Structure 1
Amino acid sequence: MALAKIGRALVNKGHTVAVAVPQDTVEKHRAEWPDFQFEVFQDQGTQARMRAIQDQAWSTAGELSIFDFKNVFDASSGESKKHCALLLGDSKLQHRLKTSQYSVVISDPIFPCGAILSALLDTRVPHIAVMRADVHFLDEKATGVPIPLSYVPSLTTDFTDDMTFGQRLQNVIVSTLLPLLLRPIVSSTYDGLVRTFVGEDETMQSVTSRTDLWLYRTDNVLDFPRPSMPNMVQVGGLNVRVAAPLTEDMEAFFQSSGDDGVIVVSFGSMVKTMSTERQEVFAAAFARLRQKVVWRYVGEKPAGLGNNTRLLAWLPQNDLLAHTKTRAFITHAGSNGLYEALHHGVPMVCLPLFAEQPANAARVVARGLGVKLDFSKVTSDQLYQAILHVVTNTSYRETAARLSRLHRDQPQSPMERAVWWIEHVIKHGGLPHLRARAVELPWYQYYLLDVAGFLLVVCAAVLGTVWYSCSFVCRKICGKSGAKLKSQ
């Protein structure tokens, strides 16, 4: 969705945007995005199988164990590799892409094939990555940015930048072990494709390290400040757009809420439904509210649903959050929803489910934008009290309004900034001068272990020389004293 919206903005600026998609999905995409050109290939059903794996794991709201995540990751990686191999191995597609002389390749690193495609087309075709975070941790080495673990929490935790000793200890362990585990996995999955299509001396890490520009969907108003490199640009909130008027029916529903207002509820596009027990917990909590409730919901109508609650299979989330009657947003703490709520100044009740959502919710709480609850354990009364607390406590509304003003107060919108940087890359054919030299250094040089070793040897030599000299002098003095005593 983020890439598609960037593509639309580039089309509006006069660029030609082509999207590589499987043959069996091209008509659907053409209907949705008629301004794009589409380059198709036969993916032999790999994308459909990836979507099925995703739906099976995440379509029902609830927590996944670490073993569930591993199974999903392994299954998705296998299909992703096949998908990438079919894309790269389509000689007709590659010929069309090369002869069309595209100026840049833009991709999300969750599908690492974009970096390989850029290198395959031509090492001079720049690559731009757009993401919340790199799940494979290749960007940490590719950008060369230092990460002080004393105040930069891992996105796999729900820590803030103010950690206790125990949290800092956990942060060091997690932030060290996860890259060590996941980088070899993605390398073993894709290195063979890189060697086949790019060059024998190339690896997944090396082609990723050529990325000219990293567009991170973050913003320091919500995220915690951390070191960055010149080619790392924050574009958090690029999905936010000017609110469109609501339909007549929806506007009437909002206006009927009076001074109490409306609560917007959504757990994202990936989550389709939830267990019956959770449905009734949520429905019962909403039924007790004075506010009206708009709930993005698919499935059987809960038995305890109140007259104040309207169920919709899809809702215009950005437009609803922008409405003056909206009082709070109940969310799974997905990145897009958080930035829409931040932009429009809406307090939140977060019930994170998976991935980086617990970390996102921790940032909401740390900034005073809302509260966090455990989705799988929250009771109806706890949920009701949390919503009531956020709605009636003016500090949340005031903080949301203040942070919204901070977030909006910038010379360019996030989308305008993303487009400017992309055009900057196109205009100059890449930005190698912004890449840190750290990317090319071996690990022992990056951590100055060779310098430390040299200094250790020098110190040891100096101390050894001093020790030997002192010992020599002592022996001489003691020898003369002994000889004198013997003569006496």
Structure 2
Amino acid sequence: MLTGSMFRYYFLQSLAISLLGHRCSGGNVLLVPMPFFDSHWFGLAKIGQALVKRGHVVTAVVPVDILKKRQAERPDFHFETFEDNGTGARLKEVQEMYFSVAKTMSVYESFRLALSCTEDITNHCDMLVGDKDLINRLKVSQYGVVIFDPIFPCGAIVAALIDTRVPLIAILRGDLYFLGEKATGVPLPPSYVPFLTCDFTDQMTFVQRIQNVLLWTLAPTMTTWLGSKTYDGLVRKYISERDTIQSVVSRTDLWLHRTDNVLDFPRPFMPNMVQIGGVNVQAVASLPKELESFVQSSSTDGVIVVSFGSMYRTLSPEKSEIFAAAFARLRQKVVWRYVGEKPTGLGNNTKVMNWLPQNDLLGHRKTRAFVTHAGYNGLCEAMYHGVPVVCLPLYGDQPANAARVVARGLGVKLDFSTVTADQLYQAVIHVLTNNSFQETAARLSRLHRDQPQPPMERAVWWIEHVIKHGGLSHLRARAVDLPWYQYYLLDVAAFLLAVCTAVMGAMLCSCSFMYGVFWHFCRIFSAKIK
């Protein structure tokens, strides 16, 4: 029988355990998103929303001028703001300009455009990390983890300023400055790992392997220099003279890669690199009433979904007429995400919308094909729902994504800059009437769905794992800390070469000595005979 004092003891103990358990179940998460590429923000925000549902407090750092927009998108988030003096808006303008001419720009012109943005990116990051009031507020909040995108590694600088002990997580599809490759020490053999932005597969010809080697050699050299030019000055200014952006990013505990084993080609991974491709795919919701009626009106012919993503919604008048003419010839209904003046050749079967519920449409039983720019989020949704694809890649990783679609048999690829109405019409008909595309799409969907954890659950589990243990330093490869000559075993090679040289020299000296002795005795023996 419990006494009063014993009862109070067990009650207080139970209450303490309960409170501690509640405290451990949630943590403070800080997101430092990019000032451009809205699709990256959408992916990051979806992960943040999943963390909110798990009881975490999620805070995002955004410029003052977009605060209301972000609050409307994610009312469950907390926000910290800073004044960016218009740098974010200017970067968005450059981004829009780049999208409009991406297919006509050479690699050199693209690099020059990226170089021209350096000053605004540097200033934008400087405004963020130089806001002392903001940094002090972030320090007081005691965040359990900071999440950033390596394309905008300013988040790593923020984490170092808050507290170098705060765990750091990177979420990425591509690594513009190749900080991750050095930070993880992962080997990427160019013999079968195609460069991210080129349309090679993992089965390259001899000429393609030559090109791939050159890309893996030259591109990292140029963009690493660009990253240093953009961020190293800020690192020296706010952290220390001996640090660089590479050393700051190398503190990252976990790398969440938006890649997938079904769609992407196999490549080496380190223990602190986790694949979360398809993290954007959600359960299918009902369509709005008007859109559902339009989809149902397609009868047995079905629906074609057309979208070029969140950042490329308006086509040139000439291109929009080409697309409209191709769609008008189809028996299927077409739902097209399009902003701007309607093309004059728009068919009665085509519905244009400023925004469309892409995931819900692709998951609808009447959807037959997806016409897209081959953005990775859209391709993951199409693969998950088993929908064949017609790709018209524009820029960035999209040509590589389209190459993966073709290699896997999920769809076909067209050249956006030269496509005609007839070519687009024939491509759509081809994926609709060729059963191999439907069968492959269904098979890839089954493969992608057959995972121990859905990608979002996996991402959340790993983030919580980092928060729970205060970092995952035991997963970091020693390669990160090795000097380059040790990583490539040049010191070992030099030692072995020296040993081999010494042994060969000793052997040569011994042979020379033995030959001299032998020759000497031969002369003595020859003289005695005479």
Smaller-chain TM-score range? over 0.9
> Where does residue 155 of structure 2 map in the other structure?
114
Give the equivalent residue in structure 2 for 1:43: 84
1:11 counterpart residue number: 52
1:91 and 2:132 equivalent? yes
Q: Which amino acid aligns with 2:442?
A: A
Answer yes or no: is the 8 Å Cα contact 1:348–1:390 preserved in 2.
yes
Question: Is structure 2 residue 527 aligned with structure 1 residue 481?
Answer: no
1:200 aligns to 2:274 (yes or no):
no
For 2:406, the equivalent position in structure 1 comes to 365
Paired residue type of 1:268: G
Corresponding residue SS for 1:293: strand
Residue 18 of structure 1 and its aligned partner are, at CA, apart by 0.8
Q: Which residue of 1 aligns with 2:280?
A: 239
Aligned ranges for residues 66-105 of structure 1 at < 5 Å? 66-105=107-146
Partner amino acid for 2:203?
Answer: D
Q: Is the 8 A contact 2:121 2:230 kept in 1?
A: no
Q: CA deviation at 1:173?
A: 1.0
Q: CA deviation at 1:482?
A: 3.6
Q: Tell me: higher relative CO, structure 1 or 2? Use CA pairs within 8 A at least 6 residues apart.
A: 1
Structure 2: which amino acid aligns with 1:330?
V
User: Does 2:356 match 1:315?
Assistant: yes
CA distance in 2, matches of 1:480, 1:277: 97
Write out per-residue CA displacement over residues 72-103 of structure 1, whole angstroms, 9 at most, x where no aligned residue.
Answer: 31233221110111111111101100011111
Hey, what's the Cα distance between the residues in 2 that align with 1:293 and 1:68? 36
Which residue number corresponds to residue 333 of structure 2?
A: 292
- Paired letter, 2:419: V
**C-alpha separation in 2, matches of 1:311 and 1:367:** 30
Amino acid at match of 1:152: V
The corresponding residue for 2:206 is 165
Aligned partner of 1:456 among 497, 502, 506 = 497
Q: Secondary structure at the match of 1:273?
A: coil
Report the count of equivalent residues: 488
Percent of counterpart pairs with the same letter?
65
- Counterpart residue number, 1:65: 106
2:382 matched to 1:341? Answer: yes
Residue 435 of structure 1 aligns with which residue? 476
**CA distance in 1 between partners of 2:293 and 2:452 (Å):** 36
Residue 56 of structure 1: aligned partner: 97
Instruction: Return the letter of the residue paired with 1:423.
Output: E
Q: CA RMSD in A?
A: 1.3
Q: 2:282 matched to 1:225?
A: no
Q: Could you tell me which residue of structure 1 aligns to residue 510 of structure 2?
A: 469
Partner of 1:355: 396
Kept in 2, the 8 Å contact 1:22–1:41? The answer is: yes
Q: Name the aligned partner's letter for residue 150 of structure 2.
A: P
| Equivalent residues of 2:184, 2:477 under 8 A apart | yes
How far, CA to CA, are the matches of 1:352 and 1:10 in structure 2? 32
- State whether structure 2 residue 462 is matched by structure 1 residue 444: no
Q: Aligned letter for 1:28?
A: K
Q: How does 1:268-307 map to 2 (within 5 A)?
A: 268-307=309-348
Amino acid aligned to 2:292: E
1:385 paired residue among 408, 426, 429: 426
Which digits, 9 at most, give the CA deviation of each residue in 1:248-286, with x for residues without a partner?
Answer: 111111111111111111111111322222222212211
- Asked if residue 188 in structure 1 is aligned to residue 229 in structure 2, the reply is yes
Of the structure 1 ranges 189-198 and 225-234, higher mean CA displacement relative to structure 2 is found in 189-198
Secondary structure class of the residue paired with 1:58: helix
Measure, in 1, the Cα distance between the counterparts of 2:201 and 2:98. Answer: 28
Whole-Å Cα distance in 1 between the matches of residues 101 and 229 of structure 2?
Answer: 31
The residue identity in structure 2 corresponding to 1:462 is V
CA distance in 1, matches of 2:196, 2:376: 12
Provide the rounded CA distance (Å) in 2 between the counterparts of 1:164 and 1:121: 49
What do the CA deviations read for 1:332-358 (whole angstroms, capped 9, x no partner)?
Answer: 100110101011110001110000100
Q: Which of 257, 276, 283 is 2:298 aligned to? A: 257
In the alignment, what sits opposite 2:371? 330
One of 243, 250, 253 as aligned partner of 1:212 = 253
SS across alignment from 1:17: strand
**Deviation by residue 1:49-87 (Cα, 9 ceiling, x = unmatched):** 111111122157744332441233123322111011111
Separation in 2, partners of 1:478, 1:379: 87
**In structure 1, what is the equivalent of residue 440 of structure 2?**
399
CA distance in 2, matches of 1:71, 1:56: 14
Deviation at 1:311, TM superposition (A): 1.1
For residues 77 and 321 of structure 1, what CA distance do their matches in structure 2 show?
A: 38
Describe the superposition over 1:152-193 as per-residue Cα deviations: whole angstroms up to 9, x where unpaired. 111121111111111111111111111111112211221111
Query: Please, which runs of 5 or more residues in structure 2 have no aligned partner?
Result: 1-41
Spell out, residue by residue over 1:396-438, the C-alpha distance to the aligned partner (whole angstroms, 9 max, x if none): 1111111111111112111111111101100111000000000
Which of 10, 25, 29 is the equivalent residue of 2:66? 25
Q: Give the aligned partner of residue 166 of structure 2.
A: 125
Structure 1 unpaired stretches of 5+: none
In structure 2, C-alpha distance between the alignment counterparts of 1:355 and 1:204, rounded to whole Å: 23
Distance 1:59 1:35 in 2: 34
CA shift digits 1:103-140 (9 cap, x unpaired): 11101111110111111111100110001011111111
User: In structure 2, what residue type is equivalent to 1:104?
Assistant: V
Q: How far apart, in 1, do the equivalents of 2:111 and 2:189 lie?
A: 28
- Cα shift readout 1:301-327 (whole Å, capped 9, x = no counterpart): 222222211111111111110011111
How far apart are the structure 2 equivalents of 1:391 and 1:272?
25
TM-score, with structure 2 as normaliser: 0.90
CA pair 61-321 structure 1, distance change in 2 beyond 3 A? farther
Query: Structure 1 residues 61, 444: closer, same or farther in 2, change over 3 A?
Result: closer
In 2, distance between residues paired with 1:249 and 1:272? 22
Tell whether the 8 Å contact from 2:115 to 2:226 is kept in structure 1 after alignment.
no
8 Å Cα contact 1:292-1:308 kept in structure 2? yes
